[in-house]
């Protein structure tokens, strides 16, 4: 199933869903109107609703379909109707806390012992004229998981030993009982950094002494994190520069043996990538970078 938002730019009033035949890729005539279905956005959540060109919301083998909206997510049954079990009307427009106006930048599944518990959300909120980072957890119905961070959320007000504010937390990666969170800081939103948390939201003091690991990537943006053995791969891209991939080991140290001097080049300018994946292909391990208009693959092992 595919989905997007439909209507005038900045004033979307409908979800547009399409269902494709798994074998042929053609529209499934048994779904909606010849494979296409239009679902009105509930009136209570229409204001300033926006979406992205590529749907990056978490899809799981649980009989649901999900679509990102600004600051939140919509959840559908595979028949195309909004799921009333998720936040009552199927759409979660903001993190369910009233203390601040949270802007959600990233959503991912939240797992426990291989079981889907809900979702992790991350982003930024304003306090005193400065952006502050946050990570929060909700259950599969859109309600707070209060055992995460003590009350369902973790705040990043400033970085230790730095005066940097204006923090934004974006890509996340859960590896067993640890959560890696990438962030940006400062007026121009760099430098970039990685925190490692325990699954319950506590900062992991064994990873770089509980301090953020700063990434030496200048003003480039972190777009994705993926597990690679006992380390992580970090996807990087810049507006004018070509993108690349770097690797950090289990201790939070840069792996200079990866790629060329610690940098695997992805030769596409203005790449605006969507995802980074590790795959087995013809007996080799490759990294795959997906963008809106391209697919890049590079053998790493």
- Tens-digit pLDDT profile for residues 167-217: 989 899 999 999 999 999 877 667 899 999 999 999 999 999 999 999 988
231 and 261 in a common domain: yes
Note whether 175 and 114 are same-domain residues.
yes
Taking the C-alpha atoms of residue 3 and residue 68, their distance in angstroms, rounded to an integer, is 9
Inter-residue contact 224 to 170 (CB < 8 Å): no
Residue 161 has pLDDT above 80, yes or no: no
89 & 174 share domain: no
What is the model's pLDDT at position 66? 93
Looking at the fold, whether 181 and 258 belong to one and the same domain comes out as no
Asked whether residue 115 falls in the same domain as residue 202, the answer is yes
Residues 211 and 229 in one domain: no
Residues 120 and 196 in one domain: yes
Verify that 36 and 12 share a domain, yes or no: yes
- Domain endpoint, select from 73, 93, 113: 93
The distance between the two most distant Cα atoms of the chain, rounded to a whole number of Å, is 60
Residues 167 and 145 occupy one common structural domain: yes
* pLDDT tens for each residue of 73-109: 899 999 999 999 999 999 988 788 867 888 888 899 9
pLDDT at 222 over 80: yes
Domain that holds residue 236: 221-301
Assess whether 229 and 293 both reside in one domain.
Answer: yes
Question: Are 183 and 102 part of one and the same domain?
Answer: yes
Q: What does pTM read for this prediction?
A: 0.88
| Rounded-to-integer distance, Cα 194 and Cα 184, Å | 9
* pLDDT at position 52: 46
- Look at residues 198, 215, 232 and tell me which one is the last residue of a structural domain: 215
Domain stop point among 93, 117, 150: 93
The pLDDT score that the predictor gives to residue 55 is 56
Q: What is the per-residue pLDDT across 235-256, written as a single tens digit (0 to 9) for each?
A: 998 766 668 999 999 999 999 9
Backbone angles phi, psi at 119, to 5 degrees: -140, 150
């Amino acid at each position: 199933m595919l989905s997007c938002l439909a209507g005038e730019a900045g004033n979307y009033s409908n979800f547009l869903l399409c269902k494709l035949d798994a074998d042929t890729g053609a529209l499934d005539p048994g779904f909606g109107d010849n494979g296409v279905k239009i679902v009105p956005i509930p009136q209570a959540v229409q204001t300033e609703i926006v979406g992205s060109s590529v749907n990056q919301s978490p899809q799981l083998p649980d009989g649901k379909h999900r679509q990102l909206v600004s600051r939140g997510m919509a959840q559908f049954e595979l028949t195309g109707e909004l799921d009333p079990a998720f936040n009552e009307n199927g759409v979660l427009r903001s993190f369910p806390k009233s203390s601040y106006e949270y802007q959600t930048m990233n959503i991912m599944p939240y797992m426990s012992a291989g079981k889907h518990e809900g979702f992790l959300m991350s982003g930024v909120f304003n306090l005193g004229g400065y952006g502050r980072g946050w990570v929060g957890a909700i259950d599969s119905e859109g309600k707070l998981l209060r055992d995460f961070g003590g009350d369902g959320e973790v705040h990043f007000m400033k970085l230790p030993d730095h005066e940097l504010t204006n923090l934004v937390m974006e890509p996340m990666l859960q590896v067993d009982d640890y959560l890696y969170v990438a962030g940006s800081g400062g007026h121009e939103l760099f430098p970039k950094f990685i925190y490692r948390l325990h699954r319950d939201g506590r900062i992991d003091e064994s990873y770089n002494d509980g301090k953020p690991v700063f990434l030496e990537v200048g003003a480039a943006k972190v777009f994705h994190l993926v597990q690679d053995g006992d380390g992580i791969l970090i996807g990087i891209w810049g507006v004018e520069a070509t993108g690349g991939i770097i690797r950090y080991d289990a201790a939070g140290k840069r792996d200079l043996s990866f790629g060329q001097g610690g940098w695997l080049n992805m030769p596409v300018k203005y790449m605006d990538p969507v995802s980074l994946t590790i795959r087995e292909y013809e007996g080799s391990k490759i990294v795959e970078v997906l963008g809106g208009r391209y697919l890049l693959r590079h053998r790493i092992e």
